[in-house]
Structure 1
Amino acid sequence: MLPTTSPQSNGNPSSRDAARHTAGAKRYKYLRRLLYFRQMDFEFAMWQMLYLFTSPQRVYRNFHYRKQTKDQWARDDPAFLVLLSIWLCVSTIGFGLVLDMGVVETLKLLLWVVFVDCIGVGLLISTLMWFISNKYLLKQPRRNFDVEWGYAFDVHLNAFYPLLVILHFLQLFFINHLVVINSDWFLGYFVGNTLWLIAIGYYLYITFLGYNALPFLSNTVVLLYPFALLGLLYFLSIFLGWNFTWGLCWFYKYRVQ
């Protein structure tokens, strides 16, 4: 994060500017806007969600514009997070219906998915990527250049959204209908595992784009290396008859019992 300077300070940042651009101040501003829906730009957030599927590079170009105009890489508008939460809740309720769960079981599943799978795992992944990028990927380790934790969290949310739509929404229509991917039938687990391949591939690629967009990072291509392991697991799963969707459904049912 680059420090800003006040025009009256002859190159020395004023205490007011410094306070305004601290991580705590940015976090407070972001969380405060969660209480004011009218201040959120949902139309722009929906535009980002669309382009995460069709042209994710355009989404990260907008992060560049935000850095130039607001001196921060991370989002200052929680509209994307709110819409993502709505998608998560609706799709989880859909899973409850598809798996014939009762109201209480569906509510328990929703709490697990929101607070553990999304928030908990998201915080863990974001913190890990924030540490790795600042520790090993900086071109010139200097105090004036670092990856904002909020930006690492935004990259995770960007990458998580296509995965959510594919595995938590689109996949619902295949579990008990069409090719019935929650079964031992070859076509079933072939289609199901292919959806997993596409979803996780999206996650890895959009994560790579997020860190590759930062001009002060180098060797970000290493973030694409997990594609080799992903491809290997996919072909092994088809050869050995592993059904990832069946495993997810079993795990969800086991959680709420």
Structure 2
Amino acid sequence: MKIQQIRNATVIVEFANTRFLVDPVLSPKGTYPGFEGTANSHLFWPTVELPISVEQILDVDAIIVTHTHLDHWDDGAKSLIPKNLPIFVQHEEDAEIVKASGFSDVRLLTEDSSFNGLTLIKTPGQHGSDEAIHAIGDLLGQVSGVVFKHPSEKTLYLAGDTVWNKYVERCVETYQPDAIILNSGDAQVPGLGSIIMGKEDVYKVHQAAPHATLIATHMEAVNHALLTRKELREFSAEKDMVNHLLVPEDGEVCVL
């Protein structure tokens, strides 16, 4: 298994000889104004350029879009991804959004999806605390993750845009993943707190899955993600997680 951090939540997962591009955001640095009502909304994003060429990024067998927020499925992705590539989405509403951009092979993730002989399992998440969902749930919307399984591979759980909660805890208990990709940039909405995992949430995942390798993504690329790689690495050392937490730079490949 190989996980390549591209930028923000965009990663390439190479699993059972199949390459998946997850949550593609392919526009150049500074394309979009900051998300209104979030931290650092004055900053344009992406705050960094892509680390490798679009051609290299698109050398994949399928796309997975965990949800259709702009920082997971952007205009660059819509225009650059070949229209016939298989794209997995979380539900019919997102399927219609993707199809509206001209994509012809849009598939729903379920609890027993399959592709190229491997199993893809849709998992639930929650894009913020109960308070945040109550206040701006319509904006935060539904999110998903995915578990990758194959007899020849370790089990991988990609949690998606979620904070630590009962859904993540249940997935860890149910699937006993060997590796977990966590959106760890601590994106913030002032007054409502984190809407993805911060360092304390990463530590809770480690406590729940002490033998799993954690891979941190969704960092240092959008205006409202406040946790830096440096801070997470320092926290990891304090909590004795260094041997269990990978914090890859953009472009870096993690081999598991």
User: TM-score range with shorter-chain normalisation?
Assistant: under 0.3
TM-score (norm 1): 0.25
Choose 1 or 2 for highest CA Rg: 1
Higher strand share: 2
